[in-house]
Structure 1
């Protein structure tokens, strides 16, 4: 679905019907119903922001929430980070995401992703992407962090700051 959404060659109607076919295995929906349904799904499950009220699980406990991103800069890309997300889920939860496809809901997936422990590769990469050179630490440490930041950057042209 994310590949379809990111496809620059498809128009919005094509994206709508293709995504609904992928998600619901339905191609027979009337146009207006399909568009309304797609807008609802995209708004509530794909383009979600942090909810104002915390969501509760079955026992009434608050569900994990999205960590605040510095400067609202994108820190994860589902396509580029797929292998790191997969490895992190295996490490933290012993979940094989390939086997859980079509069984794990989007909300469950996002809750688990947002609650990944700090020692997982995905959380380490997020920390690297969010790192800012404030002059603290040794030159060797800062040089290493800049190299890692460039390696795991989501922007091809992300500027490297030499710290001076």
Structure 2
């Protein structure tokens, strides 16, 4: 995010400028949807397109493949802000979800994130739903102080075990207490989900074209 930039949340699609919604809660709901096995891949893309678009009439005439392209473009150009892994010495909270072992999760750590925003910034994230932009949310998340519960928990998860037996036992207990479940929800995992969904839809479209050409 640049201080000289404004958030022009517009996707140019098929010659049309489409305004999108990118408040932090919309993006987090999109992440949750991608993890939800109840819906089919096609249903997920339909719902994602509808979640992101500011004016539903803008995508009303689009077919499924076009909605896939539209939603994918939102992820690629407006939500995703990183393609490479962080350096090993990085102290950037945003980097923690891009390591091989993720250290935070938007769903499992929701209480810690909420309390930390309130503690550091006096920002009530519930009241900010539909208002606080995703990129502002990420910048504020990244800037949380070491005094916040969220940073405390993340630091516990990422800390290496010491050699001292007593300290080691103490840290192991804390790590168990704050351990993430098997499938943490973070940007790296979501990026892979989007890419996998896109590949599946492309494969399906190719299969249908081949069938129609016979």
TM-score, normalization: structure 2?
0.59
Q: Against the structure 1 CA distance between its residues 40 and 65, is the aligned structure 2 distance closer, same or farther, given a 3 Å change threshold?
A: farther
Name the counterpart of 2:62.
30
Q: Against the structure 1 CA distance between its residues 129 and 117, is the aligned structure 2 distance closer, same or farther, given a 3 Å change threshold?
A: same
Alignment RMSD: 2.7
Name the counterpart of 1:39.
72
Post-superposition offset of 1:69: 6.1
Name the counterpart of 1:128.
156
Mapping for residues 44-63 of structure 1, pairs under 5 Å = 44-49=77-82
Name the counterpart of 1:58.
none
On the 8 A contact 1:45/1:106 being kept in 2, the answer is no
**Which protein is bigger by CA-based radius of gyration?**
2
Q: Figure out how many residues of one structure are paired with residues of the other and give that number.
A: 144
Unaligned runs of 5+ in 2: 1-29, 86-91, 183-214
On the 8 A contact 1:4/1:15 being kept in 2, the answer is yes
In structure 2, how many angstroms separate the alpha carbons of the residues matched to 1:50 and 1:112? 21
Post-superposition offset of 1:114: 1.1
Aligned pair 1:83/2:111, yes or no? yes
Q: Against the structure 1 CA distance between its residues 42 and 126, is the aligned structure 2 distance closer, same or farther, given a 3 Å change threshold?
A: same
Unaligned runs of 5+ in 1: 53-63, 157-164
On the 8 A contact 2:116/2:150 being kept in 1, the answer is yes
Name the counterpart of 1:151.
177
In structure 2, how many angstroms separate the alpha carbons of the residues matched to 1:21 and 1:71? 31
For each residue in 1:103-150, what CA deviation from the matched residue of structure 2 results, as whole angstroms up to 9, or x when unmatched? 111111111111111111001111011012141xx4332212111111
Post-superposition offset of 1:50: 6.1
Paired residue secondary structure (1:86):
helix
